[in-house]
Amino acid sequence: MPLVAVEHLTMRFGGLIAVDNLSFTAYRDEITAIIGPNGAGKTTVFNCLTGFYRPSSGHLSMHVGGEIVRLERIAGFRIARRAGIARTFQNIRLFAGMTVLENLIVAQHNSLMAASAFSIAGLLGLRRYRSAEAAAVERARHWLDRIGLTDRADGLAGALPYGAQRRLEIARALCTGPLLLCLDEPAAGLNPRESEELNQLLLLIRREEGIGILLIEHDMNVVMGISDHVIVLDYGRKIADAAPAEIRADPRVIKAYLGEEDIAEAREGEIGDVAPAEAGAQGQPARTRGPDFPLSRE
Amino acid sequence: MTGFARGTVVTDDMRPPVAWAVILKDALLAAVVAILLALPLVGLQTYDIGGGALGIRTHFDWVALGAAAVFAGRLAVRLLPRPQFRRDRHRQPVFKRLTVWANRQALRLAFVGIALAIALPLLPFSSRYLIDLGTTVLIYVMLGWGLNIVVGLAGLLDLGYVAFYAVGAYTFGLLATDGGFTFWEAVPFSGLVAASFGIILGFPVLRLRGDYLAIVTLGFGEIIRIVLLNWASLTGGPNGIGGIPRPSFFGLPFARSAPDGAMTFHEFFGIEFSPDHRVTFLYLVILALALMTNLFTLRIRKLPLGRAWEALREDEIACRALGINPTNVKLSAFAIGAMFGGLAGSFFATRQGFISPESFTFIESATILAIVVLGGMGSQLGVVLAAILLVTLPEFGRAFAEFRMLMFGAAMVVVMVWRPGGLISYREPTLRLHPQSSVGIGR
């Protein structure tokens, strides 16, 4: 049974069709990557899934326990709690003026709020709230150990180096206790060593947490290295949906990335070693079809 | 001289040659601007020539004198070597280290401060004027602490905070005069009514942030004032509400003699009657109310709701992705901030015995906001310092009459240049993983 099922999702912005009749499924204990050229509609899919956009048409359903939650029918801020979907952002959105630990505690707001009886038990300093807070700190410490930021827990989140901020954002999303983790370009701006660490972290999350991971990524080392399943979007349409090895050989994918006339050159293995192009601004209709797909690398 | 980094020692042979043409041109330009400004302001003076008509006197000599002074001053500024600021590593962050120290000693400092505040009426140099001034300072401290929840913690810029102060004062005034409520019965109602007005304001501005929010709240403040001014049948219009009962000491009035044989405060305790008793009592009441506000804020900051306020200030979109309901978080900030404003308002009403819309103008909102910003957004201690500064400074300036506001403005500019983040721009984390390494975080 799939964890999340997207059926005939269409998202229009005025005359622009950002996502066009897209269907796919993602499973528990799997890493599903969504790739595609800039402006293909990847982040739009994420925004529909996490309630930031209401889809123009289509169904998004999430299997929580035995029941099915229809994502398009519930308010955006409820999705994290009701459907168990957590996400990170392309441009990091940490609470920069708060400490690392506080970022992870805020992520556990809903359970702590219930434990504090909407602040009343908390104001009175009842034991019920204090033990809930201690448990929240323990959970935060667990993830801090995993991402290697335990020593900096009491420092400002905004003062962390870039790679650490990316890891912290993932940890913050995990502290909500999700079933599905949506990561929007987690490797953007990371150096090769950091992106390898990220791979290990994501594999560990999949192994130990038993959750599904949905991943938008341009870094093909990450995509090909860890995903179980790759979905390729182009102009809002799904053009391929298969295991990484098959995607690499799919002529439609190569065409989408390189353009028709460049295929011959790509086959000769020249372009593949060029470093991936910088990820452009999301939702931008104009696209840069740079050779950001290292086809020849095996 | 601008080419040199601050802190480098400029020796004679390093100094660039004096560019006379540039400097003269600069000084002339300054003098011309001075003439343009001074002509209407200083050069022309109206006077009464009898029969209600006005004549004009000219003072071109004053204008010339002023322009010459500006010219000379500008020349001097350009020619004299600029004082070299030594950026000494040990001296520079004195204030920052002071704030870190103050925060580490916060508990002890708070006890000393509270003890001093309680003891103020008993001190030998204390006077009725001093206690009155202390009461005013404490009203602003309480308002500052209340607004700090909305602006400092939740990051919602509110320019109409005085509206809640007014709602609290009028609720109290109406309940105490027409409703026959006593002080302690009416106070909670004032807080509740003000809190509901906070929610009423909160709903339409849920989607707004920053400048837009500021403008709408500014409008809200004015709406409340104008309604109070025009709804004469309820609020008495511009005449306000008079004869608001003064607070009693839990039923014992502070009067020379009570009507119909009841006990008064001084009779009950068997002491000499003094009008100072009531002033001191009022002072202690506002001290208690303000401390309650502070205690509440300090506690709620460490609870999920308080952390959600701060998270909302940092990033609303991230909050939504984490399952925090931004509507509830914002409305609770508005409501709780408004409640403390309303409580302060009810105290104001009983202290003055008379309220009118004139007490609740925009300048009050601006003063309260200035206290919060000047103190350092979110800093409780900063609010106290800023309130003391902003309330007592005009008092010291009384001798200068119309120059008071000028001094006030200049002092604000100096503080903002000197401490752009506010007097105390320091945020203590709400919880720590490693409590032993309590290194502060300056912002």
Q: Report the CATH number that the domain containing residue A267 is assigned in CATH.
A: 3.40.50.300
CA distance A223 to A33: 6
pLDDT in tens, chain A (298 residues): 789 999 999 999 988 999 999 999 999 999 999 998 888 889 999 999 998 999 999 999 999 888 888 988 888 888 888 889 999 999 999 999 999 999 999 999 988 888 877 777 777 777 788 888 899 999 999 999 999 999 999 999 999 999 999 999 999 999 999 999 999 999 988 888 888 989 999 999 998 888 999 999 888 888 888 999 999 999 889 988 988 888 888 888 888 877 765 555 555 544 444 444 443 344 444 444 444 444 433 3
Contact B325 A77 (CB under 8 A): yes
Whether residues A262 and A194 fall in one domain: yes
Using an 8 Å Cβ cutoff, are A227 and A241 in contact? no
Kindly state whether residue A195 falls inside one of the protein's structural domains: yes
Q: What is the pLDDT of residues B69-95, one digit of tens each?
A: 999 988 888 887 765 555 544 444 566
Whether residues A196 and A287 fall in one domain: yes
Cα–Cα nearest to A87, from A34, A127, A128? A34
CA angle B293, B294, B299 (to 5 degrees): 100
Residues of A in contact with B304 (CB under 8 A): 106, 109, 112-113, 116, 119, 122
**What pLDDT is recorded for position B75?**
87
Kindly state whether residue A89 falls inside one of the protein's structural domains: no
Q: What is the pLDDT of residues B179-198, one digit of tens each?
A: 888 888 899 999 999 999 99
User: Is A79 in the B-facing interface, judged by CB distances under 8 Å?
Assistant: yes
ipTM above 0.90, yes or no: no
Contact B314 A97 (CB under 8 A): yes
Q: Which of A146, A177, A208 is the last residue of a domain?
A: A177
For residue B309, pLDDT beyond 90: yes
Residues of B in contact with A105 (CB under 8 A): 307, 430-431
For residue B362, pLDDT beyond 80: yes
Using an 8 Å Cβ cutoff, are A215 and A31 in contact? yes
Residue A35 is part of which domain span?
Answer: 1-84+178-298
Pick the CATH number of B95-418 from 1.10.10, 1.10.3470, 1.10.405, 2.130.10: 1.10.3470
For residue A69, the cross-strand partners are: A62
* pTM, two decimal places: 0.80
Whether residues A185 and A294 fall in one domain: yes
Nearest to B304 among A116, A150, A153 (CB): A116
Whether residues A173 and A263 fall in one domain: no
User: Is B436 in the A-facing interface, judged by CB distances under 8 Å?
Assistant: no
CA distance A172 to A166: 10
Contact A106 B324 (CB under 8 A): yes
List CB contacts of A226: < 8 A, sequence separation 6 or more.
A31, A199, A202, A203
Burial (CB count within 10 angstroms: exposed 0-12, middle 13-18, buried 19+), residue B54? exposed
CA distance B209 to B215: 10
Whether residues A291 and A190 fall in one domain: yes
